[in-house]
Amino acid sequence: MKKFFAPVLAASILALGSAVSAKAFELGVVAFQMSSETHARVANAAEAAAKEKGWDVVVLNSNGTLPTHAEQIENLIQRGVDGIVLAMSKPVEFDAQMQAAKEAGIPLITVMSGASPHALFDIQVNEYAVGAEAALYLLGQIGYEGPILTQRFESNVGTRVRGKVLDVVLSENKAVEEVGSHSMARTKSWREDVRSGMSALILQNAGNFEGIWASFDGQAFIIDDLLKEQGMQKGDVVLVSIDGGQETYRRIKSPDSMLMATVAIPFEAMGEGAVEAMQRIAVDGEAKEAVTSGPYLFMGADLVDQSNVDAFIEE
Amino acid sequence: MSAAEATGTGEGRARLRGFVATYGTALAGLAVLVFFLFFARNFASGANLLNVLKQASFLSILAVGFTFALLTSELDLSFANLCSLAAVVTGGMIAGGIAWPLAALTGLAIATAGGLLNGLLVTAIKVPSLIATLGTAAIANGLAFMLTGGVAFVGRWDPVFLSLARGKLFGVPVLVFFMLAVVALAWFLTKKTRLGVHMLATGEAQEAAHRAGIATRRMKLVGLTLSGVAAGIAAVLLVANLSSAAPQMAGDYLLNAIAAVLLGMTMFEPGRPNVAGTFVGALIISVLANGLVLLGAPYYLQDIMLGVIVIASVSVSASVLKRAAFSV
């Protein structure tokens, strides 16, 4: 028995050592689904920023599951952390847990989650503006006429808003026709879902679409690869998406990729901003209103295409 | 050493082996609990221990359902998806303005019907349960997405309904009472009723049970249906706890519940699915999930350690069982 449990207990003791060695400000960070790059970028940036301040950090991954997310918030409250940052959480679903954090006197900041009366505020980009920018860029590139395909994702508030804004833009530009649309339903096996759905649409509409709109960059990568498999080259089809990131920028710059542009959401800056706000409010004692007066702290997002992509690529 | 002494020592070893086989995993779980009590900050607080019990409730209820199926020697790999589907139906009806008792009963009925379908596929059409329940799981998953379009039903629903999962009775979360009621009922059914004995006999030696006049096909039908019932109960409570319903919301429970049952099979009645073991197995997994957060362990270490401990626990008792089986 010992030989099985000794390594486990040893690992626990090691973890314990790191947990009790300092009595600095302790931040709990929960990412809803670390397998999603954007969630991980927020959480990792928050963790790095907090460590830079000498804080202790507990980072948790809810694996995209609602009950697990709820349990992890509850566990952080029981641990008695000094502050909590939730990345891509859901205020209504976790209303009870957020309220419990508030009642326990634990300041809570959410990122890209939506407003909650129990949180200090939510750090957001204006998804409506982001959606409009991506949609208008796509339409501009195809001359405001012609058939397009869309890859949507309705389960996430942000991507759903982007899709609805696209619909508004299309309703005002009747010469652009959405000839095919695939909505990604699954969250865990989403890559396969996008690949099979868009593969069918691309084959079905071969030669009959000039642009593709994807609700986030991860989808665009899969579509980009599918288009390359079809023998298409840069300029044959305009592929536009939203989120940003080094892989996105590399593709925008690459002569082999169909990805033309993205709207870069500053996920790292959001994670870092959450930590900085926590510092000002929970550590330095500033009023929440000194950081932002409303339920949101909005950040800007840049349109990135070949004209400015070099400024975003990290060496 | 005299022959009598040697015999005595042999009996002592056998007794020790038997004790380890019966209680080894439970003791290991106890050791982990004691470790957390001493080293994990705030683990020992009353609020946290109640928190652990509350978090164990969904897992326990689902794992008890899986135990029923396994007791009759059938696998149910659909319970998590049936639970998600039932949750979506319940949440969708409440969001649509239908009274929550009716919505809850409908959710329960949907999951029960799913379990019954599994049972019929296995007993009437002779589809192996592994395949039948995988198929049912896929259907339930598809239906959940069809009903939601991937978008969760969310709302600030009737507080009475939400209190089913968020409420407290004498300072103890109501969920804990639901869990204890399900576990106690399941234990009573399996240990104190003829139905339980017949289900066990079916699982242990189907042919012999059949020859002894036990309706083995009906027992399998009951086992799989009860697994669906448990999924339905968990679904309603999940919806009440989160005030929302999403497809795949119970997805994480599939492996955890199976792990709880496997852990349970290494204690009390080694090698046999049993409700008490399942309950303790679910508690061990919940204690680990909570204790590791309170220790401040990184999230990836938590997954790794949970896997290691589950495998180690099962391996320990399996090896003891194997030794016991081959020793004369």
CATH of the domain at B317: 1.10.3470
Using a CB-CB distance cutoff of 8 angstroms, which residues of chain B are in contact with residue A46?
A: none
The whole domain housing B269 covers: 3-326
Q: Which two tokens stand for residue A97?
A: 């847990």
Give the integer Cα–Cα distance in Å for A30 and A43.
Answer: 7
Chain B residues with beta carbon closer than 8 angstroms to that of A12: 35, 39, 292, 295, 297, 305
Q: Is the minimum CB–CB distance between A181 and chain B shorter than 8 Å? A: no
Closest CA to B78 of B275, B250, B311, B262: B250
Interface residue A59 vs chain B (CB under 8 A):
yes
- Report how far residue A113's alpha carbon sits from residue A83's, in angstroms, rounded to the nearest whole number: 17
Helical H segments across chain B, by residue range:
3-39, 46-71, 79-95, 100-123, 129-148, 159-166, 174-192, 194-204, 206-211, 216-242, 253-264, 275-295, 299-326
pLDDT greater than 50 at residue A296: yes
Whether B328 shows a pLDDT value over 50: the answer reads: no
Pairing of strands A83-87, A302-304: unpaired
Q: Phi-psi category of A145—alpha, beta or left, where left has phi over 0 and alpha has psi -120 to 50?
A: beta
What letter does residue A250 receive in the DSSP assignment?
H
Nearest by CB to residue B48, choosing from A19, A78, A96, is: A78
* Residues, chain A: 315
Residue A159's DSSP bridge partners are: none
**A154: closest CA of chain B, how far (Å):** 6
> pLDDT (tens digit, 9 = 90+) per residue, B225-268?
999 999 999 999 999 999 999 888 998 899 889 889 988 988 88
For A134-146, letters b (16+ CB in 10 Å) and e give bbbbbbebbeeeb
Task: State the alpha helices, DSSP H only, in A205-266.
Answer: 217-229, 246-253
Q: What is the mean pLDDT of residues B184-195?
A: 97
**Mapping DSSP to helix (H, G, I), strand (E, B) and coil, where does residue A27 land?**
strand
- Amino acid making up residue A129: A
**What's the CA gap between B242 and B65, in Å, rounded?**
22
Going by their DSSP bridges, the two strands A302-304 and A259-264 should be labelled as antiparallel
Confidence band for B19, pLDDT divided at 50, 70 and 90: confident
pLDDT digits (tens, 9 = 90+) for B36-82: 999 888 899 999 999 999 999 999 999 999 999 999 999 999 999 99
Answer whether residue B108 shows pLDDT above 90.
yes
HEC string of A140-186 equals: HHCCCCEEEEEEEECCCHHHHHHHHHHHHHHHCCCCEEEEEEEEECC
A23 in contact with B at a CB cutoff of 8 Å?
A: no
Tally of domains within chain B: 1
- Whether residue B82 lies within 8 A of chain A, CB to CB, comes out as no
With CA atoms as reference, the chain A residue closest to B246 would be A66
Rounded to a whole number of angstroms, the distance from the CA of B71 to the nearest CA of chain A is 27
Is B138 within 8 Å of chain A by CB? no
Q: Read off the pLDDT band of A63 (50, 70, 90).
A: confident
Give the pairing type, strands A238-243 and A211-214: parallel
Which of 1-40 (B) contact A at CB < 8 A? 20, 24, 28, 31, 35, 39-40
Contact: A4, B24; criterion CB under 8 Å: no
Pairing of strands B172-173, B168-169: antiparallel
- Residue B131: phi, psi to the nearest 5? -75, -45
Q: Which of B228, B202, B151, B141 is nearest to A155 (CA)?
A: B151
A259 three-state secondary structure: strand
Nearest CA in chain A to B91: A93
Give kind and range of the element (H or E) at residue B262: helix B253-264
pLDDT band at B175 (very low <50, low <70, confident <90, very high): very high
Length of chain B (residues): 328
Considering only CB atoms, B293 lies closest to which of A76, A154, A160, namely A76
Nearest to A198 by CA among A165, A227, A169: A227
Report pLDDT digits (tens) over A137-170: 999 999 999 999 999 998 777 899 999 999 999 9
Name which of A15-24, A114-123, A163-172, A280-289 the model is least confident about: A15-24
User: Could you tell me if A71 lies within 8 Å of chain B, comparing CB atoms?
Assistant: yes
Mean pLDDT of chain A, nearest integer: 90
Report the residue of chain A nearest B256, measured CA to CA: A68
> What span, in angstroms and rounded, lies between the C-alpha atoms of B21 and A61?
35
pLDDT tens-digit readout, B264-321: 988 888 888 999 999 999 999 999 889 988 888 888 877 787 677 667 666 655 544 4
Compare all CA atoms of chain A with the CA of B311 and give the residue at the minimum distance: A4
Residue A152 backbone dihedrals phi, psi, to 5 degrees: -110, 170
Asked if the C-beta of A185 comes within 8 angstroms of chain B's C-beta atoms, the answer is: yes
Query: What structural domains and CATH numbers belong to chain A?
Result: 24-119+267-299 (3.40.50.2300), 127-265 (3.40.50.2300)
Burial of B6 (0-12, 13-18, 19+ CB in 10 A): exposed
For residue B156, the chain A residues in CB contact (below 8 A) are 92, 95
| Best to test chain A binding among B61, B288, B295, B308 (most A CBs inside 10 Å) | B295
DSSP result, A51-90: HHTT-EEEEEE-TT-HHHHHHHHHHHHHHT-SEEEEES--
Q: What values do phi and psi take at A159, rounded to 5?
A: -70, -30
Rounded Cα distance between A288 and A94, Å, is 22
Give the Cα separation of B231 and B62 in Å (integer).
6
Instruction: Tell me which chain A residue has its CA closest to the CA of residue B317.
Output: A1
Token code pair at residue A203:
């084959």
Determine, for residues B296 and A71 on separate chains, whether the beta-carbon distance falls below 8 Å.
no
Q: Could you tell me if A90 lies within 8 Å of chain B, comparing CB atoms?
A: yes
Q: What is the pLDDT of residue B314?
A: 64
Cα radius of gyration (chain A): 22
Asked if the Cβ–Cβ distance from A15 to B246 is below 8 Å, we say no
Is the Cβ of A306 closer than 8 Å to some Cβ of chain B? no
The residue-averaged pLDDT of B132-136 equals: 96
SS3 at position B154: strand
Give the integer Cα–Cα distance in Å for A267 and A124.
Answer: 9
Q: CA of A314 to nearest chain B CA: how many angstroms apart?
A: 27
pTM (predicted TM-score): 0.81
Angle of helix B100-123 relative to helix B129-148, nearest 10 degrees?
A: 150
Interface test with A, best of B242, B284, B287, B290 (most A CBs within 10 A): B242
What pLDDT is stored for residue B301 in this prediction?
Answer: 76
Centre a 10 Å sphere on the Cβ of residue A105 and count the other Cβ atoms it contains: 10
